Structure 1
Amino acid sequence: MESVVKVFAFMLLVSQASVRKLNAQTSEMQADRARRDMAIRWPAAYDPSVAPVFSHNELLIHADCHRIFARLSDVTAWPSWLVIVKDVSNETPQKTGKGALYRLKIFNSPIQSRIVEFEADQRISWIPFGADETETHHGHYHAWRFVPQAGNCLVITEETGIGPGDRKNPSSGSHLMHKAHELWLDSLRYISEP
């Protein structure tokens, strides 16, 4: 009987830790939603108010927005400074801005993304596309905005996810996305600040 009680107590402790972790991830997503940048433009299907997964990150980088935007918009150079990305190829070499299609691996997962918004030094966004170049409708929309601030730049990035996996575990997906964006912003700062 004593061993059954110990097993039950252990299972209760483990489940309480899981609930605390889930609550923390849910709180993080709620905080991200509260900080949402209303100046970011979203396709209707990916709007944060309807997407199950959402992440907001921002960082003041001590460099001008032109320099930072140039680093981020050079997608083929990402593997040289962003450890989560590799094998980038521009499938539309004649394009480098809006409409450019890239194949790459993020966290070793192959994706194909098209830049759908490109305003030099201000905004860039992309969306995953399928092999037939139609929107996947189960992917993510990733938006960036660059706000000049007295010689520095506030870099804001937000992403939504609307796929089956996102609906299955939105808090965990948002948490992982948030952490990846922290790394992305820190790496961008590292290569951008003089």
Structure 2
Amino acid sequence: MLHEINWPHGYLPGYTDNFASNEVIVRNLTAKEVFDTLIDASLWESYYKNSSDVEFDNTPGLILAADTRFRFKTFGFPIEAQIIEFEAPADARPGRLAWHGWAEGDADHRLDVVHAWLIEDLPENRVRILTQESQIGKPAKELHEADPDPMNIGHQDWLKGLVATVQTRNKQDIAD
């Protein structure tokens, strides 16, 4: 049975202004390897072109943890964010990471999102990486109407970059 994202009240997909869902399943990686790479926000810019200027407010370094408050730029928006779910994968439980993010502004510019990740080991040496984002606000409505869909395209690129980064790190570990 595949797991699903835990949505906070008010962000349930289908009730928000925009929703993006992206997933990959790959062989020869573990949920722990993927999770540990994802939470290292210092790496994001190296493999995800829609991320820049990551800064942390209440945690030293750039490794995400429970309740971390941070900011970054993505899709042209300056986002303030706070981790609302953080559970490393263990004992056949999936890894879970989610942040509430927002871009301040008036009614035409305010954006409010929950971006969630679920990373789980599957049988036969496979891992599933699911990322979903539920958005509220006029900018979210505009993203929903855009063609092509920038959120799903961008988040799929994030998944591909994440997988490639983990694979590269594994090859370097083998070579060392």
TM-score by length of structure 1 reads 0.70
1:145 and 2:118 are equivalent in the alignment: yes
Structure whose residues are more often helix by fraction? 1
Q: Which residue of 2 aligns with 1:39?
A: 4
- What secondary structure, in the 3-state scheme, does the structure 1 residue paired with 2:151 have? helix
Structure of greater Rg: 1
Work out whether residues 78 and 103 of structure 2, in 8 Å CA contact, stay in contact via their aligned partners in 1: no
Following TM superposition, by how much is the alpha carbon of 1:38 offset from its aligned partner in structure 2, in angstroms?
A: 6.7
SS state of the match for residue 10, structure 2? Answer: helix
What is the aligned-residue identity percentage? 25
Distance 1:38 1:166, change over 3 A: farther
What does residue range 100-179 of structure 1 map to in structure 2 within 5 Å?
Answer: 100-121=68-89, 122-129=95-102, 138-149=111-122, 150-168=124-142, 170-172=144-146, 175-179=149-153
Alignment counterpart, residue 40 of structure 2, candidates 74, 79, 88: 74
In the alignment, the residues of structure 2 paired with residue 93 and residue 55 of structure 1 have an alpha-carbon distance, to the nearest angstrom, of: 28
Inter-partner Cα distance in structure 1 for 2:58 and 2:163: 28
TM-score for both structures, normalised by structure 2: 0.77
Do structure 1's residue 58 and structure 2's residue 23 form an aligned pair? Answer: yes
Contiguous gaps of at least 5 residues in structure 1:
1-36, 132-136
Q: CA deviation at 1:192?
A: 1.1
Identify the residue that residue 14 of structure 2 maps to in structure 1: 49
Letter in 2 for 1:110: P
For the aligned residue pairs, the C-alpha RMSD in angstroms reads 2.5
How does 1:5-24 map onto structure 2 within 5 Å? none
Number of residue pairs matched by the alignment: 154
Q: 1:173 to 1:53 in 2, by over 3 A?
A: farther
Q: 1:90 aligns with which of 56, 75, 83?
A: 56
- CA shift for structure 1 position 165: 2.5
SS of structure 2 residue aligned to 1:40? coil
User: Structure 2: which amino acid aligns with 1:123?
Assistant: R
Cα distance per residue 1:1-38 (max 9 Å; x no partner) = xxxxxxxxxxxxxxxxxxxxxxxxxxxxxxxxxxxx87
Between Structure 1 and Structure 2, the one with more strand by share is 2
Q: Which segments of structure 1 move beyond 4 Å, counting only runs of 4 or more?
A: none
Structure 2 counterpart of 1:113, which letter?
A
